[in-house]
Structure 1
Amino acid sequence: MTLATDLMNYALMGAFAIVGLCQIMAMIRVVIGPGTGDRILALDTMVVNAIGLVVLMGLSQGTRIYFEVSLIIAMLGFVSTVAYARFVLRGDIIE
């Protein structure tokens, strides 16, 4: 292997570790979050971290399908965050 390939592999391993650690920290915030707003924000952060993990998986495997999957996860995460926030604020999602 070349030096560039080795560096890319090390960078991917480091990025997986860092994003995985961030995901664990967000899970802890969901469990011990003092308020509902903190839990909503932690869930949204978990969606962003999941997107990051999917993109890193696509980079490591060299396929493009993971990037499309990350777009779908982003759309679903946005809609679910807005719906959950509306439910907490108003008590219902659809008026």
Structure 2
Amino acid sequence: MIQTAIVGSMMVVGLSMLMALWRVLRGPSVPDRILGLDTLSIAAIAELMLFGMYLDSPVYFEAALIIALLGFVSTVVLSKYVLRRDIVE
């Protein structure tokens, strides 16, 4: 029964990834696109965690941790660039 719940959750997270991708591609402004990219990275982390639970493999949890770190750094850098038009001070 838990496998069915994981597969159902993976489908819902996949749908949320498609909606976040739509926001990244069609966002009316740059901050909306950055928010969509951040949401997409969070959904990718959730998808990897669910896939790791489905396959019972710890490798996917480590990959999710790396994506979380890269997603946070990219959001901070893009937000800083939008505010100041300069990344390095």
TM-score range, shorter chain: over 0.9
1:78-93 equivalence runs, <5 A: 78-93=72-87
Q: Does 1:20 align with 2:14?
A: yes
TM, length-normalised to structure 1: 0.90
RMSD between superposed Cα atoms in Å:
0.8
TM, length-normalised to structure 2: 0.95
Q: CA deviation at 1:31?
A: 1.4
Amino acid at match of 1:86: K
Q: Which runs of 5+ in 1 are unaligned?
A: 1-6
- Tell me: higher relative CO, structure 1 or 2? Use CA pairs within 8 A at least 6 residues apart: 2
Q: Does 1:40 align with 2:39?
A: no
Distance 1:44 1:69 in 2: 17
- State the match for 1:31 in structure 2: 25
Q: Does 1:69 align with 2:63?
A: yes
Amino acid at match of 1:58: G
> Percent identity between the aligned chains?
47
**Following superposition, which runs of at least 4 residues in structure 1 exceed 6 angstroms of deviation?**
none
Distance 1:10 1:94 in 2: 47
